[in-house]
Amino acid sequence: MKALVFKGKDLPWGVTDFPKPKPVKDQVLVKLKTAAINHRDLWATLEQASVMHKDGVVLGSDGCGVVEDVGEDADPFLVGMEVVINPSLDWGKNPAVQGDTFRILGNPDHGTMAEYIVISKKNIFEKPEHLSFEQSAAVPLSGLTAYRALFSKARLRAQEKVLITGIGGGAALWALQLASAYQARVSVTSGNDEKLSRAKALGALNTYNYKNQDWAEQAAKASGGFDVIIDSAGGSDFEKLVDLCVPGGRIVNFGRTAGSTVSFDLKKLFYKQISLFGTTMGTRDEFLSLLEFVESRKLVPVVDQVFPLADAKQAFERMKEGSQFGKIVLKIA
């Protein structure tokens, strides 16, 4: 089969021939139709992630396709089902935090950027009927991350004021769509005015270009502060988020696109009784709740561009440039 394979530090990577997997025990074999790119895929290539497999690892966390075969402990009636894959593997027993065996599909386990994948039957769910294969591939990792951030961590309530940083990426856009559908009053930031304009069309009430030095002052004046802030950037602007939180507000972070190191006055945190949460992915129950939310409200994820698997490197370059608005999807079959 054809697959996008990363072999490790200083080794060439790209689409190549790779052994077709075979399902065993409770596994199913999914013939993939589409996969989507996440920053973790890009960082694997840029930061030269370690690889456990001698022949390299198939990248990709997000995928959608059709069950073609099953292992001996999986129901044969699953064959032919159109499915979306939950990339959160072996979360563990504690819903508050992942266990020691937790992994995200796509490294170290072989991922979705291939013609086929084998995965536990516990990680497949029926594809939402109202979504195409391309749209369905845009749901899993980003949607699950945003859902857990908003509802499990921040405990979002209707009509609360929400600020989402870095609009344009998959998780930020999902946060905007989920929060808006939940009747929150959402504002967003970006360094790109076109992305801000498109975010307004998706339900953002106010938009702020973080390249303007006074963007935080503008946001504070317009909103009076935010109940919930969803951040995927970190970096030097993080202290502004603490300033923008109302007393008793909640900040949830799941990324570091603007930098891993942040600093702020701790007095602001404890005196305003702000709750600061970190989050990564989510549980199986949260994934199921996400799909139910998406289906009940007929939400449609934003797809930026679709590339054939053979042009995967071009797709990665688009993500590296940061010009995308929505998920970058690979069409496999």
95 and 165 share one domain: no
pLDDT tens by residue, 200-242: 999 999 999 999 999 999 999 999 999 999 999 888 889 999 9
27 within domain boundaries: yes
- Cβ pair 44, 107 in contact under 8 A: yes
Closest CA to 136 of 175, 191, 84: 84
Query: Residue 225's CB: how many other CB atoms inside 10 A?
Result: 16
Closest CA to 83 of 27, 41, 44, 125: 125
Pairwise CA distance, residues 303 & 97, whole Å: 30
pLDDT at 48: 75
287 within domain boundaries: no
Pairwise CA distance, residues 294 & 325, whole Å: 19
pLDDT at 243: 96
97 and 165 share one domain: no
Angle at 183 between CA 180 and CA 185, to 5 degrees: 70
318-327 average pLDDT score = 92
242 and 188 share one domain: yes
pLDDT at 142: 96
pLDDT at 54: 83
- Looking at residue 270, which CATH number applies to its domain? 3.40.50.720
55 and 170 share one domain: no
Concatenating the DSSP letter of every residue in 117-172 gives EEEEGGGEEEPPTTS-HHHHHTSHHHHHHHHIIIIIIS---TT-EEEESSBTBHHH
Residues in Cβ contact with 266 at an 8 Å cutoff, skipping those fewer than 6 apart? none
191 and 81 share one domain: no
Mean pLDDT of the chain: 95
59 and 43 share one domain: yes
pLDDT tens by residue, 71-118: 999 999 999 999 999 999 999 999 999 999 999 999 999 999 999 999
Q: What's the domain count of the chain? A: 2
pLDDT tens by residue, 279-308: 999 999 999 999 999 999 999 999 999 999
CA dihedral 135, 138, 139, 142 (to 10 degrees): -160
Angle at 283 between CA 189 and CA 42, to 5 degrees: 50
123 and 172 share one domain: no
- Looking at residue 97, which CATH number applies to its domain? 3.90.180.10
247 and 189 share one domain: yes
The residue range of the domain holding 161 is 143-278
Residue that has been written with the tokens 């856009």 in this structure: 173
228 and 151 share one domain: yes
pLDDT at 49: 77
- Cβ pair 128, 291 in contact under 8 A: yes
Q: Is 277 exposed, middle or buried (0-12, 13-18, 19+ CB in 10 A)?
A: middle
- Which amino acid, one-letter code, is at 158? A
274 within domain boundaries: yes
Pairwise CA distance, residues 226 & 77, whole Å: 48
197 and 185 share one domain: yes
E-state strands within the chain: 2-6, 14-17, 27-36, 57-58, 62-70, 82-85, 88-89, 103-104, 116-120, 124-126, 161-164, 185-190, 206-209, 226-231, 245-253, 275-278, 303-308, 327-331
Is the predicted pLDDT of residue 257 greater than 80, yes or no? Answer: no
pLDDT tens by residue, 21-75: 999 999 999 999 999 999 899 988 887 777 878 889 999 999 999 999 999 999 9
Pairwise CA distance, residues 241 & 227, whole Å: 11
Using DSSP's 3-state secondary structure scheme, residue 322 falls into: coil
131 and 199 share one domain: no
29 within domain boundaries: yes
86 and 163 share one domain: no
Using DSSP's 3-state secondary structure scheme, residue 38 falls into: coil
